Structure 1
C-alpha cells in the first residue's frame, strides 16, 4: 500500500450511513386496548361469559437519549490527569502529544506537549473544513456548467470544483450524498442546442499549479487515496463510483469530458482541454450538495479529494491562488483571522496526506472546542457545527466503523466517542468529542508519530474510552 495506510484499516466492512442527528430510541408498552368496557362481557369458546379486561392506558414513550444537562458536574484537571496521566506515561507511544478541553468553559484540563507540532495525518482535515465553514457560505453549492464552444457543434464542460459530480443514472448511488448528475447536464444541453454536438472540450482553469502535491506518494492514485486535483471530475476520480477506497483515474477532467461526449453522441476520442470564453452562453448547469454537507462527508469518510477541493475554494473566496501553496496558506490565515493560534502549524495540502504537514494538538483541540462551545444567545450562529455532525461515531460509521470493538479496552467508547482519525505510516492521531460519566462534554486531541499505527491506534482509542467512563472530578 506504499507509504499510506487507509484510515479504517484493511478489509473494513461496508460503512453504514448514519443520519447526522442521533436517533432517539423509544419503547412503547401497550398492554391492552382502552375504551369504555365497564359492565361489558365477552363470550369464551365454551360459551361462558367473563368480564372484559379493564381499560389500560397507553404508556407514553420515554426517550432513552436526550440533550446533555447544562449543569453537569465540571471535570477537573486533577481528575482528567489522574485518568490519562498513567496512559500517557506508558511506553510505546513514540512522539506523543495531546490535550483535553472543556468546551463550555474553554478550560484546558490536560495537556502533554500540546504545542509541539507533529504530522497530523487526516486530522488536518479539521483545519481545512473549519476554514471552509469560516470562509464560504455553508448553503452555497459548487456548480458544473456546459457552455457554447468556439464553433458550432462544440461545447465546453467547465469545472466548478465539484468532485461529487457523477455519471451514474438517477436510480444508482455512489459514495457522495445528493450528487449532481452528468445525465441531467446532458439533458439540458440537448434541450438548449439546435445542432448535434460533435465535440466536447473541458475547462479546468478554475485551479492552478500542480495537480498532485510533490510530497505525495504517486502510488496513492492507484491505491485509491487521491486523484489529480482538478476542478472537474466524476465521483472523486474513482474508477468504481460505488467504492469508497478504489483505484482512481489519472486524468479526471478528461474522463468526465469523455463521459459527457458519450451521452451526447459526440466523439469521445477528441476530448481535449480548452478555456471557455468569458461571455459563452450557458447551455446547462448542475450543482453539488451544500458546502456544509460536503464538509460533513469529507470528515466522516476522510475524503482526501473533497478536502483538497474545499481548500482551493477557500483560496478563491479569499482572492488567492487556488493551488496547493495558496490553499494551504489561506487555510491557516482564515483560522488565524478567526482568532485561533496557529503558531507552529504548517500545511502543504488540505487533506493531510503529506508528511510535511505539521500541526500542534492544541490547535486541533481549539478548533473542536469552538465547534462544541454552547451558543451564547438565541441568535448565536455556530459556523463550525458541521464539523461535529460529520465526526465518525466510534464503532458506528465512517473511519471509526471498525474501531472500538466489543470486548476491547476501548469498547466503553462505542457510540459515545465521535472523532476524526489520522493515519499515515508511523502517524496516528485521533481528535474529537466524548461525554464523560457525569454527562459533561469534553474535547480531546491525541497525536503520535514514529510508531506503527497498528500498535498505537488501539491505545488512542482507549484514551478516549477512558474519558467516557470517568467523572473526572
Structure 2
C-alpha cells in the first residue's frame, strides 16, 4: 500500500496568540507559569503552582523561550527531509501517524496519516482538558455535600465527583477539600444532636466503574481504579503513596463514607449505600421542630479546587482517576449520563461545538486507558492551536501542566539521555501516552528559528517489548523540530 501523502494540506486557519502564553521560567521558588485570561479569579487568587522545593537557582533560567512571530515557518520540503528518516525508524512499529502545524497561522505543514484515528493512550487527556474547560470553565469547583437523611439521626454524604477529596488536611492532593471540614459543618447544623448512621450517595455517576477497553490488570495495576462519584485521594488506599503507581481501594465511595462516619462518631457498621431524599419545600422546613432538620436539608458542603488546578494535575502527572472525573463533568455539563458512555458522547459533542476535525474520532473514556479510543494527530494539533487562541483564554490552562522536555512531569527524564534528543530539552512541551504497543506524544515546540509549532505523533503497533526504543524514536522526532529551521 502506498504511504499516506506527505506535505501541506489546506486546513482552516486559527487566530492564535503569540507564544508569550507559553513562556515558562524557572525562578527562585519554582516554575512560574504566564497564562492569559483572568487566572487570579479562576484560582481564587491562590498561587497557580505550589512552591517547589530543592536547590535555589542563583539566576532565572529560561525553560521555554518566547517564539518570534516574525520567524520563518518551516517548509514542507524541509520538514519532509528532517522527519521522514525518523518516522521510518523500526522502533515505532508498523503504523506511525503524525501532523505538524504552524501555531501562528494554523497551516498544516506536515501530514503523514494525520487524519487517521490512532490509539492515543494518555494523550487523550488533552482532549479531556479542552472539553471540560469549555463545558465547565476553569473556575468551576465540584461539590461534596451532606444532607439530613430520611430517618432521624441519618446523615447522607453525597458525592459530586471530586476525585481529590481528602479525609483531612493530610490528603494526597494539595488544596483538596476535606471531610473534616464537612463534618464540622454537620455538627454545627445539627446543633449538638449526634448522628447515628451514614448513607453514602454516589448516584451522581451511573454505569460500570471500570472502562470499556481497559486492560485486565488496570483495576488492580495501580494506575486506574473504580470510578465512583465519591472517593478520597483518587481512590488511593494510602494517601501518602507517591505519585504514579498506587494501590487503589475496590469501593471508594464506601471507604469515604466510613471515614466520614469516624469523624462524626458513627460506627462503621452504620454506613450503607443509598440515595439522598429530595430537598424539602420551604413550608416543610418551616414546620420542623427546633433543633431538627427536615429530610434533604443541606447540612454542609465543601468544594474541590477549581478545574484549572485539576487540569494541571491531570496533565502534569497523567492522573487517570482525575481524568475520568473531569470527563464526567463534561457529561454533567451537557446533560448526559455521568458514565463512560455519557462522558465520551459529551466530549464528542464539545469537539463538534469547537469545530475541531472529528474524522476518525472514537472515544470510550477520558484518561486514555481504553484501547477503544481513536484520535487523529490533526485533531490534536488543531486542538492545541485553539487552546493558544486569544479568543479562548480559558483553554490556555492546558499549557500549565504540560511537561517540559528534560525538566518536568512525564518528560522529566527524557530529552538528553537518548542519542538525537538533546535539542528538545527545555523547548518541547508535550503530553505523552503509553500502553503496551501504543506510544504517543503531542504538544508544542519552538524551532531553532523561533517559530512555534504544534505537533502530534501517534503509533499503535510497536513491538510489546519496545517501549524504551519507541519513546526515544518519538523524542527524536520532536527534537528534530526543535533543532532545525526545516526550510
TM-score (norm 2): 0.81
Cα distance in structure 1, aligned partners of 2:297 and 2:270:
22
Q: Match of 2:350?
A: 334
Q: Is the contact between residue 212 and residue 364 of structure 2 (CA under 8 Å) also seen in structure 1? A: no
Q: Is the contact between residue 144 and residue 286 of structure 1 (CA under 8 Å) also seen in structure 2? A: yes
Cα distance in structure 2, aligned partners of 1:128 and 1:63:
31
Q: Match of 1:464?
A: 478
Q: Match of 2:290?
A: none
Tell me the matched-pair count: 412
- Counterparts in 2 of 1:73-472, with a 5 A limit? 73-94=72-93, 95-168=95-168, 170=169, 172=170, 174=172, 176-193=173-190, 194-242=192-240, 243-244=242-243, 245-279=245-279, 280-373=296-389, 375=390, 380-406=391-417, 408-451=419-462, 452-472=466-486
Distance 1:62 1:185, change over 3 A: closer
Displacement, 1:217? 2.9
Displacement, 1:441? 0.9
Displacement, 1:214? 3.8
CA offset digits 1:419-448 (Å, max 9, x no partner): 111100100000011111111111110011
Cα distance in structure 1, aligned partners of 2:262 and 2:202:
20
Cα distance in structure 2, aligned partners of 1:62 and 1:118:
40
Cα distance in structure 1, aligned partners of 2:376 and 2:156:
44
- Counterparts in 2 of 1:53-92, with a 5 A limit? 67-92=66-91
Superposition CA RMSD, Å: 1.9
Cα distance in structure 1, aligned partners of 2:405 and 2:116:
27
Q: Is the contact between residue 76 and residue 110 of structure 2 (CA under 8 Å) also seen in structure 1? A: yes
SS in 2 for 1:155: strand
1:23 aligned to 22, 25, 49, which one? 25
Q: Match of 2:55?
A: none
Stretches of structure 2 that go unaligned for 5 or more consecutive residues are 1-21, 29-58, 280-295
Displacement, 1:317? 1.1
Q: Is the contact between residue 221 and residue 247 of structure 1 (CA under 8 Å) also seen in structure 2? A: no
Q: Is the contact between residue 166 and residue 180 of structure 1 (CA under 8 Å) also seen in structure 2? A: yes
SS in 1 for 2:427: coil
Distance 1:63 1:113, change over 3 A: closer
Q: Is the contact between residue 396 and residue 415 of structure 1 (CA under 8 Å) also seen in structure 2? A: yes
Q: Is the contact between residue 21 and residue 389 of structure 1 (CA under 8 Å) also seen in structure 2? A: no
Stretches of structure 1 that go unaligned for 5 or more consecutive residues are 1-19, 27-60
Displacement, 1:89? 2.5
Displacement, 1:236? 0.7
Cα distance in structure 2, aligned partners of 1:97 and 1:265:
57
Cα distance in structure 2, aligned partners of 1:398 and 1:249:
25
Displacement, 1:73? 2.3
CA offset digits 1:238-289 (Å, max 9, x no partner): 1122322201001000000001111111011221111111211111111111
Cα distance in structure 2, aligned partners of 1:196 and 1:62:
56
TM-score (norm 1): 0.83
Distance 1:25 1:307, change over 3 A: closer
SS in 2 for 1:97: strand
Displacement, 1:199? 1.3
Displacement, 1:129? 1.4
Kindly name which structure, 1 or 2, has the bigger radius of gyration based on alpha carbons: 1
Cα distance in structure 1, aligned partners of 2:378 and 2:273:
44
Cα distance in structure 1, aligned partners of 2:267 and 2:181:
19
Q: Is the contact between residue 132 and residue 330 of structure 2 (CA under 8 Å) also seen in structure 1? A: yes
Displacement, 1:207? 1.1
CA offset digits 1:71-94 (Å, max 9, x no partner): 222222222222112111333322
SS in 1 for 2:91: coil
